[in-house]
Amino acid sequence: MKTHMQAAVVEQFGKPLVLKELAIPTPGPGQVLVKTEACGVCHTDLHATNGDWPLKPGLPFTPGHEGIGIVAALGAGVTAVKEGDRIGVPWLYSACGHCEYCLAAREPVCAEAQFGGYTKNGGFAEYIVADPNYVAHIPAGLAAREAAPLICAGITSYKGIKETQARPGEWVVISGVGGLGHLGIQYAKAMGLQVCAVDIDDGKLAHAKRLGADAVVNANDGDPIAAVIRATGGGAHGVLITAPSLGAFKQGVGMTRKCGTCVLVGLPPGEFPTPLFDVVANCITIRGSFVGNRRDMAEALAFAADGKVRADIELQPLSAINNVFQRLGHGDVPSRVVLEFASH
């Protein structure tokens, strides 16, 4: 029986991760041990490693909140999963389960929430300890490497589209055709919506068309708000801003139809000016959305199991993580990198 595992550990903020041999953790009461098969690399992992945000993780820690693997051992009292199940250990690692937000299935904003690969060790390791009450249950037939990006990027874009409350047949704008946006286009089409994709890169817009977008608008071409209003016959019922750009936020409000909803999931630093007259007189809702609850997770995975949504992925070994971070920092990663672990 193996006693040690490989892990990529943050020992100091802003420094390369250190590949280490650590003892395989033992799951305590109410916990499970997961043998990692694959883990996606998200921009948040880079922020965690650099200590960019006000609430910093405690050092040392192992990043990664898109880990998928097989339950290898159960702590005392666990009944929610069994050995051999394929599960995911997401950003929402656990929550209190009884505050007003948890009771309303809004557990991502629970004050007691713990975060995978941030306040808890994550999936850049051969084994992960997880809370079985909050893991993602991966449907049969969905490979670990396919599921990995969906438990963060997938649920974030899917929940964001749900939060627009657009109905089948109505228009949504997906602003930004990157890691979140390319999934958002596929979710929106699968949900029966008409999609107008907005980006500043013609190559990404061509990809958006291949993924099913009904219309595309290059935001650097003339007046993108007017172009969206033309394409959608009066503005989109829902707008999802995935681009981490303040310009995209401001444009997104202008692209929203009267009584429509503009949902923000991108996280550029700073604040953006809101055209109050338009928001008030056109009854527009501006809403933030942050990952999703466990039901949203099951739904986001079900679309993929049914073949309706598929992430663009690039496979790398754990040992390549510092190179991947370097490329991510330079905006040089066209699709989601998934770290794949050898099966023994």
> Cβ of residue 202: shortest distance to Zn ion, in angstroms?
27
Name the minimum Å distance from CB 60 to Zn ion.
20
Task: Report in angstroms how near the CB of residue 32 gets to Zn ion at its nearest.
Answer: 21
Q: Which among 128, 4, 122 has a CA at the least distance from the CA of 60?
A: 122
Please identify, among the stretches 68-76, 110-118, 130-138, 216-224, the one whose residues bind Zn ion according to the rule CB under 5 A: 110-118
> Whole-angstrom Cα distance, residue 133 to residue 150?
19
Task: Examine residue 95 and tell whether it contacts Zn ion (CB under 5 A).
Answer: yes
Specify whether the CB–CB gap between 244 and 269 falls below 8 A.
no
Beta carbon of residue 91, minimum distance to Zn ion (angstroms, whole number): 6
SS3 string of 261-276? EEEECCCCCCCCCCCH
When asked if residue 152 is in the footprint of Zn ion (CB under 5 A), the reply is yes
Q: What's the burial of 149, exposed, middle or buried (CB within 10 Å: 0-12/13-18/19+)?
A: buried
The minimum distance between CB 179 and Zn ion, in angstroms, equals: 9
Instruction: Give, to the nearest 10 degrees, the angle between helix 202-210 and helix 181-190.
Output: 30
Point out which span in 17-25, 106-114, 123-131, 230-238 binds Zn ion (CB under 5 A): 106-114
| Closer CB to Zn ion, 272 or 290, in the complex | 290
With beta carbons less than 8 A apart as the criterion, state whether 235 and 252 touch: no
Q: How far is the CB of 55 from Zn ion (least distance, A)?
A: 16
Q: How far, in Å, CA of 91 to CA of 84, rounded?
A: 22
Q: Under the criterion CB under 5 A, does residue 110 sit at the interface with Zn ion?
A: yes
- Report the alpha-carbon distance of residue 132 to residue 301 in Å, rounded: 17
Binding to Zn ion (CB under 5 A) within 186-215 occurs at none
| Residue 300 binds Zn ion, judged by CB under 5 A | no
Q: What is the DSSP letter of 123?
A: S
78-105 burial by CB neighbour count: b if 16+ within 10 A, else e?
beebeeebbbbbbbbbbbeeebebbeee
User: Does 243 sit near Zn ion (CB under 5 A)?
Assistant: no
Structure tokens at 194: 């008409």
Among 70, 96, 286, 328, binds Zn ion (CB under 5 A): 96
Minimum distance, C-beta of residue 117 to Zn ion, in the bound complex (Å): 9
For 177, which DSSP code? -
Min dist. Cβ of residue 102 to Zn ion (A): 3
Whether 128 contacts 61, CB under 8 Å: no
> Taking contact as CB under 5 A, which single stretch among the options 11-19, 109-117, 193-201, 207-215 is the one that binds Zn ion?
109-117
The count of chain residues that interact with Zn ion, using the rule CB under 5 A, is 8
156 vs 251, beta carbon nearer Zn ion? 156
Q: Is residue 135 close enough to count as binding Zn ion by CB under 5 A?
A: no
Q: Is residue 99 near Zn ion by the rule CB under 5 A?
A: yes
Candidates 38-46, 67-75, 177-185, 226-234: pick the segment binding Zn ion (CB under 5 A).
Answer: 38-46
Interacting residue ranges for Zn ion, rule: CB under 5 A:
42, 44, 95-96, 99, 102, 110, 152
